[in-house]
Amino acid sequence: MEILMSIVSGLLIASAVYLILSKSLLRIIIGTGLLSHGAHLLILTMGGLKNGAAPLLGQHAPAYVDPLPQALILTAIVISFGVTALFLVLAYRAYQELGTDNTDEMRGTEAND
């Protein structure tokens, strides 16, 4: 199971890299979304995917799954959610002000100021 999940998160990260290297700003943001999905899936996988009950003590199971990676993911998800929201709004503002979503036209030369 871990091998399958590793391949899947590898694919996610590969597509993220491909999208981030493209020119359109929106594709880049979609890429960052996929990148964080890949990273979160990797935490879950790296914590181990053994069988066990959900981490609720009320279940009275003999074994539980590792609760720590789940807490880490929850933290990482809200953080990346916040950053993505900011990034989307920023891209919207940049589109309004700069009139382009093509990163090629966002070069930092002085002539562009």
Partner 1 sequence: MTNLLTLPIIIPLMTAILLIFLAKQVTAQRVISVISTIATLVASIVLLLTVKNEGVQTIAISSWQSPFGISLVSDMLSALLVTTTSLITLCVIIYSFRSIGKKREQFYYYSIVQFMLVGVNGAFTTGDIFNLFVFFEVMLMSSYVLIVIGGTKIQLRESVKYILVNVISSAIFVIAVAFLYSVVGSLNMAHISERIAEIGQLPIITVIAVLFLIVFGLKGAIFPLYFWLPGSYNAPPVPVLALFGSLLTKVGVYSILRTYSLFFYQNQAFTHELLEIVALLTIIVGVIGAIAYWDVKKIIIYNIIIAVGVLTFGISLATEEAFQGTIFYLIHDMIIKAALFLLIGVMIKITGTSNLRKMGGLIKKYPLLGWTFLVAAFGLAGIPPLSGFVGKFLIVRAAFAEGAYVGALIVLLSSLFVLYSVIKIFMNGFWKAPQDYPGEEKQPVHFLWMPGAILVVVSICYGVGAEGMYPLISQATEALIDPTIYIDAVLKE
Residue type, 48: G
Residue type, 17: V
Single out the residue of 8, 27, 47, 70 in contact with partner 1 (rule: CB under 8 A). Answer: 47
Does position 75 interact with partner 1 (CB under 8 A)? The reply is yes
**Whole-angstrom Cα distance, residue 39 to residue 10?**
9
Dihedral Cα 12, 14, 17, 22, nearest 10 deg: -100
Does position 104 interact with partner 1 (CB under 8 A)? The reply is no
Single out the residue of 43, 49, 53, 61 in contact with partner 1 (rule: CB under 8 A). Answer: 43
Does position 67 interact with partner 1 (CB under 8 A)? The reply is no
Note whether 65 and 44 are within 8 A (CB): no
**Residue 79 Cβ, how far from partner 1 at the closest point, in Å?**
5
Residue type, 40: H
Note whether 77 and 40 are within 8 A (CB): yes
Does position 49 interact with partner 1 (CB under 8 A)? The reply is no
By CB under 8 A, name the binding residues for partner 1.
20, 25, 28, 32, 35-36, 38-40, 42-43, 45-48, 68-69, 72, 75-76, 79-80, 82-83, 86-87, 90-91, 93-94, 97-98, 103, 106, 108, 112-113
